[in-house]
Amino acid sequence: MALRLVCDFDLRKDVLPGLRARRAASLASGARGGGPGILEDNYESLRILNVERNGNIIYTYKDDKGNVAFGLYDCRTRQNEHLYTFEKDLHVISCSINSERTLLAASLVHSAKEGRKNELQPGSKCLTLLVEIHPVNNVKVLKAVDSSIWVQFLYPQVESHPPPENHLLLISEEKYIEKFHIHVIQEDGNKVVLRDSGHLPRERVAEDFVWAQWDMSEQRLYYIVLKKSRSILKCIQFSANEKFNLMCLVLYVLRLVNFGCDDLQDQGNLSKHLTLCVFTNHTGSLCVCYSPKFDSWEKITYSVFYFHKGHSKTFTAALGSVDSLVTKGLTFLNLDYYVAVYLPGHFFHLLNIQHPDLICHSLFLTGNNEVVDMLPHSPLQSLSGSLVLDWCSGKLYRALLNQSYLLQFLWNTQLDCEKMAVLHCVLSCGRDPRFLEAKIIQWISENISTCHSFDLIQEFIIASSYWSIYPETSNIDKLLPYSSVLTWNTEIPGITLVTEEITLPFMKVHSFKGYWEKLNSNLEYVKCSKPCLLYNNSMVKREWHSLISEEVYSFALLQEDHSMVSELREHLLRHLQGIEKKKIEQMVLDYISKLLDLICQILETSWRTHHLHPWVLHFRRASAAEFTVFHIMTRILEATMSLFLPLPPGFHTLHTILGVHCLPLHNLLHYIDSGVLLLTETAVIRLMKDLDNSENNEKLKFSIIYFHCPKNPPLRIFQFQLLLNYKKQPQSSMIDKSPGSVEFLPLNYFIEILTDIESSNQALYAFEGHDNVDAKFVEEAALKHTTMLLGL
């Protein structure tokens, strides 16, 4: 399947065996208690409560006496530690431990009577407790209310030195959020106690909110408050102790979700409730994924607000069969550059949040597909990064895109939109770029003519070069193209899409650092009314045509050279402020080297695939393999010429020589005239030297040199044309010896002709830096002229 869930933690494998072993050891030592099967029969009470920022997992279970116990799984040592036991039959709503494992916060309610254990009974009290556990010393009641409370310790950025003060968040269903300041002191060595347990300072962080979500990795609290007719999304980053206000997103009736999952929530009917998730990544993206209550069994609608891009997209997915009812809610998972959206048994969507402008950059799989069927049907919660928590099974997964499946899917799909989406997905998430590029190139070489909506070679070269340099700077996505496709009007089967502009977030920040700096840069780019800053080779193309039109040549025939290096360097220097010039220059070289390397890889792959050998350069009748490689090279040329990209040295020479093999003379000359085959000095010399003097070859040489060179030829070809058009004049001095004469009459005769041509034609003086007489030219032309005079 496209999404691979790698299990990092499993309660039944990582915790339960240890509990059973400890229980068995306790019974063997004669400790009082229930039989050995008690915990075995009640293992369903074992469940995850929280995942802290450092990766440690807090879980709870009930012992044989019904007491509630808390344990911690250390993700580094992979060991379990018992934290605390309440000697009462209680139900745990929420729990958190500080980074030093000295304080435990928990919210509990008295267990309901049988038959009502999944509901909070009216009139029951929720106790929020703060416990000293190193060593066990004191329990302080923080809250005693009727509503549910979620607790969360804040974790500092640096954990090497214990902070003198701990901070604890309390999030209440009564729509307020408080932060407690807890001072601790050390006594008698390692004993840690509260400095003033009678008075813990606290402050009101937010109130009248309707929704909240905790980001444990970045220590951010997102919440929504209602003001008049709109909802305002806000964020507080506690680790930096700064507040960031983000707005606005219009929503309706909301409930508290995404701070955790407990048995009090009705997980069997999630489709009756909306789903709301906030996702960010290191590039400065901010996405809000929202799914309202389902009002139809025939289609599902959800929206994604790309705040970093300034627009939202509302997707409507057809479910197909009306008989297949929706019993589960939508799941949104954060996959770095992508957001996965899936409805178990119905569809799986992979949304490109880095480049969401074109729908073809996202993948939409629907119907009876193994990707859809193999995903977990239980409720999942996306944590920071790529962590995914399955509350029901007690498993913590790391969500990864399955490269093997995506490559296989690339070979099998028939839709252009899916080819485009998977191509970008593989390149952006690849952990072994060379291997993936080789696989994609093999696919391109075998499917080069099967894609009609875009050019496979162009898309691969542009996308792969972009992703190879992208990690070096976060602003490169605004300056370098990531796709060759500018518009996409083809419909995606089963998907309708509505795009709307949205109000950009407003940030009230003391200083922009890290993620907030990148988000601010994205927002400034959206606000800017300037034209798109993406680099294109139009400037290089204009300069090229300017050189041709002005008859300015610094090379003989077509030299395989390109001026993209200087143009791209100037483009990046102009827009990448604060980055060293040397780094930008290296970036440019890396980018263009990657372009050329990818083209070379395509050539090498086609060469190996069709078993061509060096003897292909000998002039003889072409084989079927040579025809195929010539076609691939022609497609490469078309792809690069329309984008005006550089080609590896020798490309045009090899392409022309293969063209001589593969094409009849009239087709060959037509290819040269139309610019498909571009003559290089090396190619012309090879033609002159390697072709024998048969009638057909002589005709080919004459046609190429005299009629199919560029209309504004360089010096050597211009000299040939002057010689061809020269009309002999009666001159008695032709046979007179001059100071420069040699003892070879035909050569003297020809020197006189050249002298006359040069003295009577001013056009030769346009070629600055060249001698009027090219010795090599005189030698070759004189010998040829002599053989003609002698009839040899």
Map tokens 């069997």 to a residue.
268
Q: What is the mean pLDDT of the chain?
A: 78
- pLDDT: which is higher, 29 or 778: 29
Selection from 303-307, 501-505, 671-675, 732-736 with the highest mean pLDDT = 303-307
pLDDT band with cut points at 50, 70 and 90 for residue 349: very high
**Cα 204-209-211 angle, rounded to 5 deg:** 125
From 96-110, 400-414, 646-660, 690-704, the region with the lowest mean pLDDT: 690-704
What is the residue-wise DSSP string for 87-130?
Answer: SS-EEEEEEEE-TTS-EEEEEEEEPPPTT-TTS--TTPPEEEEE
The answer to whether the beta carbons of residues 51 and 64 sit under 8 Å apart is no
Give pLDDT, residue 19: 87
pLDDT band with cut points at 50, 70 and 90 for residue 620: low
Give pLDDT, residue 708: 57
How far is CA 499 from its chain centroid? 22
pTM for the complete prediction?
Answer: 0.81
Nearest to 397 by CA among 82, 98, 57: 57
Q: Is the peptide bond between 135 and the residue preceding it cis, with omega within 30 degrees of 0?
A: yes
Answer yes or no: is pLDDT of 281 > 80: yes
Average pLDDT over residues 631-646: 89
pLDDT band with cut points at 50, 70 and 90 for residue 38: very low
* pLDDT over 90 percentage in the chain: 26
Average pLDDT over residues 323-343: 81
Answer yes or no: is pLDDT of 428 > 90: no
Map tokens 């919210």 to a residue.
107
Report how far residue 747's alpha carbon sits from residue 751's, in angstroms, rounded to the nearest whole number. 6
Q: How many CB atoms lie within 10 A of CB 641?
A: 14
Give pLDDT, residue 59: 95
Torsion of CA 429, 432, 438, 442, to 10 degrees: -50
The answer to whether the beta carbons of residues 230 and 212 sit under 8 Å apart is no
pLDDT band with cut points at 50, 70 and 90 for residue 292: confident
Give pLDDT, residue 56: 94
Answer yes or no: is pLDDT of 421 > 90: yes
- CA dist 71 → 11, 59, 68, 168, 629 (Å): 11, 5, 10, 19, 65
pLDDT band with cut points at 50, 70 and 90 for residue 325: low
Report how far residue 246's alpha carbon sits from residue 241's, in angstroms, rounded to the nearest whole number. 16
Give pLDDT, residue 539: 60
Domain spans of the chain? 454-487+535-713, 715-792
The predicted-structure confidence for 46-80, as pLDDT tens digits, reads as follows 999 999 999 999 999 988 788 899 999 999 999 99
Report how far residue 240's alpha carbon sits from residue 534's, in angstroms, rounded to the nearest whole number. 34
- CA dist 302 → 65, 276, 496, 686 (Å): 47, 10, 11, 63
Answer yes or no: is pLDDT of 406 > 80: yes
The predicted-structure confidence for 757-782, as pLDDT tens digits, reads as follows 666 665 555 554 455 555 555 666 66
Average pLDDT over residues 497-525: 84
- pLDDT: which is higher, 625 or 555: 625
Report how far residue 328's alpha carbon sits from residue 325's, in angstroms, rounded to the nearest whole number. 9
Q: Mapping DSSP to helix (H, G, I), strand (E, B) and coil, where does residue 280 land?
A: strand
From 97-101, 120-124, 433-437, the region with the lowest mean pLDDT: 120-124
Nearest to 508 by CA among 181, 272, 772, 236: 236
Give pLDDT, residue 720: 53
**Amino acid letter for position 194:** L
pLDDT band with cut points at 50, 70 and 90 for residue 324: low
The answer to whether the beta carbons of residues 41 and 440 sit under 8 Å apart is no
The predicted-structure confidence for 460-489, as pLDDT tens digits, reads as follows 999 999 988 887 666 788 888 899 998 898
Answer yes or no: is pLDDT of 398 > 70: yes
* pLDDT over 70 percentage in the chain: 71
Give pLDDT, residue 164: 73
Report how far residue 639's alpha carbon sits from residue 629's, in angstroms, rounded to the nearest whole number. 15
Average pLDDT over residues 692-698: 75
Selection from 238-247, 695-704, 733-742 with the highest mean pLDDT = 695-704
The predicted-structure confidence for 551-585, as pLDDT tens digits, reads as follows 433 533 444 455 678 888 888 888 887 788 888 88
Report how far residue 90's alpha carbon sits from residue 86's, in angstroms, rounded to the nearest whole number. 8
pLDDT band with cut points at 50, 70 and 90 for residue 154: very high
Give pLDDT, residue 550: 44
Q: By CB neighbour count within 10 A (0-12 exposed, 13-18 middle, 19+ buried), where does 299 fall?
A: middle
The predicted-structure confidence for 239-263, as pLDDT tens digits, reads as follows 655 666 665 555 544 544 455 545 4
The predicted-structure confidence for 88-121, as pLDDT tens digits, reads as follows 878 899 999 998 898 999 999 876 543 334 333 4
Size of the chain, expressed as the number of residues it contains: 792
- pLDDT: which is higher, 625 or 508: 625
Answer yes or no: is pLDDT of 624 > 80: yes
DSSP annotation of 733: G
Report how far residue 656's alpha carbon sits from residue 663's, in angstroms, rounded to the nearest whole number. 10
pLDDT band with cut points at 50, 70 and 90 for residue 34: very low
The predicted-structure confidence for 304-323, as pLDDT tens digits, reads as follows 999 999 999 999 998 765 55
pLDDT band with cut points at 50, 70 and 90 for residue 231: confident
Report how far residue 363's alpha carbon sits from residue 417's, in angstroms, rounded to the nearest whole number. 8
From 55-59, 162-166, 573-577, 749-753, the region with the lowest mean pLDDT: 749-753
Report how far residue 166's alpha carbon sits from residue 170's, in angstroms, rounded to the nearest whole number. 13
Answer yes or no: is pLDDT of 199 > 90: no
Give pLDDT, residue 772: 53
